[in-house]
Amino acid sequence: MRSRPVLVYDGDCGFCTASVTLARRWIGPRCDITARQWADLEALGVTQERAAYEALWVTPDGTVYGGAQAVAKLLSSARGGWPVVGAVLQLAPARRLAHGVYRAIAHNRHRLPGSTPACSLPAGRGPGRS
């Protein structure tokens, strides 16, 4: 069993990679961070499809949080004032707003600074969809 949570992100996406670099530098989360392309997803208990759709936070006991909740967990694991921000993002009203913002960013990440063509998500794709 792992002793630290793991953040899984899309290592092919320039925007995602830049975001992780900033998080490491400015937020200082207490977790392991790995690109989905090099992660042992089966050992983490997640599918390739889900890892391609959203960032994932996998706790040491195997609980998986995706998207905005993965970001909230990352912030909650950090030092300084970031855990307060993470806690707020997990409250019902903020959680809904954070989900909408996360999905908007995820669907448009190919248009954001640092993006590459690999940043595009297949249209209409997501966990459980064909």
Pick from 29, 8, 10: which is nearest to 105 by CA?
Answer: 10
Residue whose entry in the numeric block shows the structure tokens 């992100």? 9
Residues 86 and 75: beta-carbon distance below 8 Å: yes
Residues 71 and 55: beta-carbon distance below 8 Å: yes
Sequence-distant (6+) residues with CB within 8 A of 15 are 109, 110, 112, 113, 114, 115, 116, 119
- Give the separation between CA 126 and CA 123, rounded to whole angstroms: 9
How much is the pLDDT for 120? 65
Q: Tell me, what DSSP letter sits at residue 24?
A: I
How much is the pLDDT for 93? 92
How much is the pLDDT for 115? 67
- Give the separation between CA 23 and CA 88, rounded to whole angstroms: 18
Token pair for residue 43?
């050992």
Run means of pLDDT, 10 residues per run, the chain, 130 residues: 92 88 95 96 96 96 97 96 97 95 88 69 48
33: Cα separation from own chain's centroid = 10
Stated pTM of the model: 0.86
- Give the separation between CA 13 and CA 21, rounded to whole angstroms: 12
How much is the pLDDT for 118? 64
How much is the pLDDT for 14? 83
How much is the pLDDT for 96? 95
Token pair for residue 4?
């630290």
